[in-house]
Each structure stands twice: as structure tokens, then as C-alpha cells.
Amino acid sequence: MSGHDSKYFSTTKKGEIPELKEELNSQYKDKRKDAVKKVIAAMTVGKDVSSLFTDVVNCMQTENLELKKLVYLYLINYAKSQPDLAILAVNTFVKDSQDPNPLIRALAVRTMGCIRVDKITEYLCDPLQRCLKDDDPYVRKTAAICVAKLYDINAELVEDRGFLEALKDLISDNNPMVVANAVAALAEIQDSSARPIFEITSHTLSKLLTALNECTEWGQVFILDSLSRYKAADAREAENIVERVTPRLQHANCAVVLSAVKIILLQMELITSTDVVRNLCKKMAPPLVTLLSAEPEIQYVALRNINLIVQKRPTILAHEIKVFFCKYNDPIYVKMEKLEIMIKLASDRNIDQVLLEFKEYATEVDVDFVRKAVRAIGRCAIKLERAAERCISVLLELIKIKVNYVVQEAIIVIKDIFRRYPNTYESIIATLCESLDTLDEPEAKASMIWIIGEYAERIDNADELLESFLETFPEEPALVQLQLLTATVKLFLKKPTEGPQQMIQAVLNNATVETDNPDLRDRAYIYWRLLSTDPEAAKDVVLAEKPVISDDSNQLDSSLLDDLLANISTLSSVYHKPPEAFVSRVKTAPRADDEEFADTAETGYSESPSQGVDGASPSSSAGTSSNVPVKQPAAGAPAAPAPMPDLLGDLMGMDNSIVPVDEPTAPSGPPLPVLLPSTTGQGLQISAQLVRRDGQIFYDISFDNGTQAALDGFMIQFNKNTFGLAAGGPLQVPPLQPGASARTLLLMVVFQNLSPGAPNSLLQVAVKNNQQPVWYFNDKIPMHVFFGEDGKMERTSFLEAWKSLPDDNEFSKEFPASVISSIDATVEHLAASNVFFIAKRKNANKDVLYMSAKIPRGIPFLIELTAAVGVPGVKCAVKTPNKEMVALFFEAMESLLK
């Protein structure tokens, strides 16, 4: 049934567009149809054929279904770029939605919903209303989805026109496919709304369970997934639901099976009878195992989910470990996941067989897989005490093969085994030392050095071994340097002879004077001081007994686990992250934590439980918060590190030293926001704000002395921040008598002390005087102070710049509280802040203003403001090459438009 459409891709000699235009207006039907096909072909290969809009739309009124579909497809693609012309299509749409042929009715309403143009949307409502009540289920099922489309464009409209109720009515429809699509649409709408819209009652529950038996496989997935939100009232109802869902485990569609497993697992939480639970576990095992015969991509999803399931209910698959053994031709991503599950299922009963498998894998060719296999042996050793010895002997056998990366990986895991079982397996150290010269990876080197230091008293030539590493000390990576430092100290404490003494001096010298790594330097100083003040105390500290470790790597925290189990089969369960961590709403400023998420790779074996599950929650870094409330940037940039210690460290180590207070000046102006209230400042109140004057940035700061004593010697310091703001001169505040106040302008410079990481508006300030402790407070950097006087763009260069930036650099945001009461006043007001007016146009009842601004280093912002005069709500769209700054930009604009 092969077609010959490829001819439509060929181009002609004569200019393509004019020729197509001619053909589209041909009087012959066939010629017109061919022309539309050529247009679609051009669109497919990415050519811009939007200029043919009118001509294509003229072909819309046709009896030919194929042609109609093509024109509709064209409309979906280009209506947005030609919103004014798109209105030409409305009439045909409305007419088609009443066509006697249900295919055409459905097609019209389906396509209209895809055209995201406000004007079209207005006309969609009536046809949609009709189609929701159409006689033909094919039209109704399409209309159901269309409500979700409309909600995505204009939620208010959907609610006003009562479409939500109509959609809910469809749950009782007699056609199962209509029910399934209504459920999908409602679930989506519920997801984007905070109000309860779609609540499953016991009544809807039974409707859904009935529809489940009859709708298509994809519809079954929609229904099962939405049922997973239902909380059964009691154990009996839970059992009832499970009973109705269990037959789905026999479905050939893996997605249906996984979604059924999800519901059963969720309802099992409520079921009290242990017999029922045991029985269900028995029932779920075979279908889960069968998932491993599916296509490799599905297997991957299944394995990621099984990983979660065995953490929650280890018994289900306890006897099935063999099915997770890797096949030679399994794709590597499947093998890696199988390995992870094998470790989880390894037990005293099956460890021999599992070790045999791991050993087999450790001689394969894929280096990553081999490493993971070796690591798996180590993790089993740590997990299963009785098997540790056998694991070690397998590791030793592998070391003897002398494949470089196997040896290194083995040494890393053996270090962990030593920590888990101290004083048990040290006899193998001699074998390990044989491979010393082959180590070239930092982690392996560090592990070996740790072993030598830890067991220095048992290794006769420990000093020689360590010395061999010392020669290259300056070139080693930090990880190795730190281990070398500690190991040398241990050696010295255990064997305080002449050799080690010389070594320790060399190391300490290296680590304090010749390094610029503060961690290493600090650790070296601590050791140095310890050793020079009290060697006995040093012994107590350095040689203290270490806590025993356990294998908790990749073990998820139980609340997160429950969260993920409620999301079985979805991306969340594949990533092992809650949906909030990666789901992004469109066309809003990118959230900073999205970027952190990029790393979905598993972290390997780790001693700290937190490492495997970072959960992408940035707030964890803000462990301690100071007494000043931390102002968070609105867009959810990562929280700042605890200000106290950091700031102090920076205060000491900074180049631009603390600025002393000199002559007094007394500027005046509107009152400044209070940043340090007098209650916190023991009577001293500080208010400040960043301002821009004559092309320069100043910190407008005022002090009110509410204490009982005079204060003098004011100094100020700024912590590292996104824009690298720092004091450009001394802070000029006169000595303040009790009750007196002073206000000054401090010149600021930029790009002095930049903080790495995602941009945020946090400015941390420290102020001290001679009488009081140092005060820390947080200020917010209003981005508009950086808008330069050179930010004005010509119309043409604005247009060029707008076009040259890709669409995904465009962001928009609503400022619901802002009102533009007069265009001129707004333009003037914004110009005062260096946001320059370029052009404006009318769009319906709204005005669209185009403006530009520029921040240092020549980063432009191309701005489009849309608002109706006098009506609250301003839509701000911006395009900029620097996406990271968008959140800050919106903040600034919103404050400017207040």
C-alpha cells in the first residue's frame, strides 16, 4: 500500500511560493489538492509557508476529507503566526461541526481546540457545547478531550460556560471510550487547578470500574491512573476495588498491568487481613516477572518500578531473583537496572548463585557494567554478613585477572568492606598492595591510601608505600591529597619514628603553604595544631573508632517511596523523583531547580544516606536560617546557604578589605525599607535600598541609633552575589549619638565578588560598628538598577534581535495586580528606569508595548507588555539570550509596574 508522496518534496525551478500560490487558486480540484500536499510537504521539511495562509484556507471548504484534513493540519501549524487571518477559517469550522458526517464533526472540534488563538477560541464554545451532546460517541469522545484543550488556553471560559459539569456528566456516558476520555480530561484539569474539580465518589468509582471492562487498552490506563487517587473508605471497600482490578493483571498491555499493580499496592495499605495481602502479593509476582519479556524499553520502565516495589514489599519477588539475571543481548540500560534489583534481592539463600553471576558480568566488555558488577559484589558483602567472606574471595579472584579497572573498583569496595567488618579481613592487604602501581583513578588511589593509613601498624613497609605517593602530592586531585594527609598523620601517630616524622612535615608543609585548596589547608592546620599541642588528644581524635557502615545506597526514604509508588508506571517512578521535581509548566520562567535535576544517574555506593536521594529539593541546603527572614526570589531559585558562617569566612578572606567610615553626608529622599529592625539590632535600625543615579548604582542606607550609647566606626561588607555587587568606596557614616540617625549613599561596583550558581536576587549584607556585634541582614537586589542608559534599541535592530533568538528563549508572566492607567505615563515611568519604549500596537481592546532594556555585559531584554488600559493585569513577555536572568527580570518589572 505504498504511496508516492515523496514527489511533493521536490522543488521547482520557478520561485516555489508564487507557483504554489497559483496552484492553490487553480480552478481544478486535483491541482488544488496537489498544491496543498506540496505546502504540507514544505512545512514538513521546515520551510516557512505561512505566507500562503489565505490561499490554503480558501481550500478549506471542500467535500474531500483528505484535503480538509491537510488544510486543518496547516491551520494548526500557522494559525498562531497569522491570528488575524485565522478568523477566516472560523465559519468553515462552525459549519463542519454541524456536518452530517461524524468524522467531520469530530475533526472540526478536535482541530479548533488545537488552534491556540483567542479569537478562534471564542467561537469554539458553541460547537463544543453541541458536540459534547452529540449522538455519535466518536464525536463525544473527541469533544471530551477538547474541553481539556480549552482549559489549557482559557480556564475561565471553561468554567463560565459550564463545560466542567458537562464533562462530569460524560462519566456516566454509556460509551466506555467517552468515559475514558472524560476521565483523562478531568484528571488533567484537576492537575492544573488547586480547587477540587474531579473528585471520585463511591458513585463515580463504580461507573469507572464498569467502564474499565469495556474500553480500549489506552482508556483502561486513563481510568486506572485516575483511580489511583481514590482513597478507599475502609478495608472492605479497598478489597472490593482490588477484586475488580485484579483481572487487569492478565491484560496483554504492559501499561494496563503496571497501572493495575499500582492500584493494588495502594489499596493493600488499607487491607488488614494478612491472608488477603499475602494472596495479592502472590498474584502480582507472575505478571511482574512477565513484564521482563516485553520490549526492552518497557522492561526498563518495569525494572525501575520493580526497584520501588521490592523496597516496599520485598516478599513479592523474593523467590524470583533468577529472572533478573542479565541476558547477553540485553541493552546496557536494562542490565544496569537488573543488577540493582539483584543486589536488593540477594539473600543468604541465593548469594552463591548471585555471586557466580556477578563474577560472570565482571569479565564482560562494557566497562561501566563491569564496574557496577564489581561494586555489586562489595555491596552484597556489606549487606550479608555471612556471605562477606565469599564475596571477598570472589573479589580477590577478580583482582588476579589484573584488568586495570576491575582491580581499582575492587579496591574501592574492599575499603568499604573493611569499614563494615573491622579487624576481620585484613589478611588480604598484602594481595592488595601488589596492585599498588596500577592505580590511576583518584577514588581507587584514595581508597588504597586509606587502607594503608588505617592499618599502618600491620603493614611493615607502610611508610615506604605512602612515601611513593608523596612524591606526586602537588599534582594529585584533592580527594587523594586529603586521604594522603590523613593517612600520613595516622602513620605518624602509630609509628612515631624518624621516617614518618619527616614525611608528616613534608605533607603538612605541602598542604598548608603550597596549596590553594581551603579544605586541605584547613584540615592540615587542624592536624598541625592537634599534633603540636597534644599528641595524645590527636590520637584520640584521629584514631577514634569509626561508626559501622551499612548498605543503604539507593534506598529511598519511606515517605518518598510511598510518593513514588503512587506514581507507578509514570515518569516519576522512572526517575525516582516526585513529579514536582521535573514537571514544568510552560511559558513561565524556568525554575532553577529544574537544572539541578539533569543528573538522573544513580549514585553508587555511598556512606551517607542522603546521597542516593537528592530529591531535587534545594531547600535542604538552607539548614540554619538566621534571625533575619530570608527573602526568597519569587521564581524559586535555590535557597542561599546559611548566611552566618559563610559571610564571616568571606569577611576574613576578602580582597577588598573592610571599608572604614569617613566623612558624613546627608542625602534625603523617600523612606527606605527597614532591613534590620531595632528589635533585632539591639536598638540599631538599618534601612537600605539599591538605587541607580546618573548611571551609577548606589546603596542608599540609613542608620537610626536607638541604643543608649553612641555608635561609631561603621563598616559594611557584602557577601558574594549574583551580580558581584561590592562597595566601591568607604561607608560614610558619622558617629551616631543615641537617638540620632544618618543616611548616606554608598557607591557600588559590579562584578567584584560573583557568586556561582543560578542567579538570584539575594544580597547579604554585614554591618559592624565598634560597640556592637556584627549585624547580618538580607536585601533583595532589584534588577532594574542594572538597566543601563544605553538600553534603547532601534526598531529594526529590535526586530532582528527578536527574530534571531529562538522561541524557547521567550518567557511570559502575568502581573495580575499591575494596572496601566495611561500608556504615556507608564512609558515615561519605565523610561526613568531605563526601560525604553520602541513601538506599540493595538490588539483588540488591548495595547501591546514593545520595549527594551539592557544590563551590564550587553545582555539585552526584549520586552512585550500587553494590557488593557485601566484594567488590572499586565502580561509581560520577554526574550533574552540569558534565560537564567528571566526570573529576576520579571521580579524587577513587576515592581516597576506597581
Q: State how far the alpha carbon of 97 is from the alpha carbons of 91, 259, 275, 456, in Å.
A: 10, 35, 56, 85
Supply 177's cell numbers: 471510550
Residues with Cβ within 8 Å of residue 22, at least 6 apart in sequence: none
Supply 817's cell numbers: 495586580
Q: Residues 257, 259, 263, CA angle at the centre, nearest 5°?
A: 115
Cα–Cα distance, 558 to 249 (Å, whole number): 26
Shortest gap between Cβ of 682 and other proteins (angstroms)? 46
Cα–Cα distance, 243 to 214 (Å, whole number): 17
Shortest gap between Cβ of 109 and other proteins (angstroms)? 11
Shortest gap between Cβ of 127 and other proteins (angstroms)? 16
Nearest to other proteins of 291, 762 (CB atom) = 291
Nearest to other proteins of 534, 808 (CB atom) = 808
Nearest to other proteins of 136, 712 (CB atom) = 136
Cα–Cα distance, 744 to 715 (Å, whole number): 13
Shortest gap between Cβ of 70 and other proteins (angstroms)? 7
Nearest to other proteins of 574, 711 (CB atom) = 574
Shortest gap between Cβ of 709 and other proteins (angstroms)? 54
Shortest gap between Cβ of 508 and other proteins (angstroms)? 39
Distance of CA 110 to the CA centre of its chain: 32
Nearest to other proteins of 299, 732 (CB atom) = 299
Residues with Cβ within 8 Å of residue 391, at least 6 apart in sequence: 351, 355, 377, 378, 380, 381, 384, 417
- DSSP-derived letter for residue 603 is P
Q: Which residue is associated with the grid cell 585548596?
A: 517
Shortest gap between Cβ of 105 and other proteins (angstroms)? 10
Plot region of 502 (φ>0 → left; ψ -120 to 50 → alpha; else → beta): alpha
Cα–Cα distance, 307 to 284 (Å, whole number): 15
Nearest to other proteins of 40, 158 (CB atom) = 40
Supply 867's cell numbers: 494590557
Nearest to other proteins of 230, 777 (CB atom) = 230
Shortest gap between Cβ of 81 and other proteins (angstroms)? 12
Cα–Cα distance, 171 to 165 (Å, whole number): 10
Shortest gap between Cβ of 38 and other proteins (angstroms)? 11
Nearest to other proteins of 40, 493 (CB atom) = 40
Nearest to other proteins of 298, 428 (CB atom) = 298
Q: Do residues 592 and 640 make contact, with C-beta atoms less than 8 angstroms apart?
A: no
Supply 578's cell numbers: 516526585
Burial class (CB in 10 A: 0-12, 13-18, 19+), 31: middle
Torsion of CA 161, 164, 170, 172, to 10 degrees: -120
Nearest to other proteins of 286, 609 (CB atom) = 286
Q: Give which of 645, 662, 781 is closest to 713, Cα–Cα.
A: 662
Nearest to other proteins of 123, 333 (CB atom) = 333
Cα–Cα distance, 733 to 712 (Å, whole number): 8
Bridge partner list, 860: 854
Q: What's the distance, Cα to Cα, between the start and end of the chain in Å? A: 63
Nearest to other proteins of 329, 657 (CB atom) = 329
Shortest gap between Cβ of 323 and other proteins (angstroms)? 7
Supply 888's cell numbers: 529576576
Amino acid of residue 517: N
Nearest to other proteins of 156, 807 (CB atom) = 807
Q: Residues 751, 753, 757, CA angle at the centre, nearest 5°?
A: 90
Shortest gap between Cβ of 572 and other proteins (angstroms)? 5
Shortest gap between Cβ of 395 and other proteins (angstroms)? 17
Supply 803's cell numbers: 527574530
Shortest gap between Cβ of 613 and other proteins (angstroms)? 16
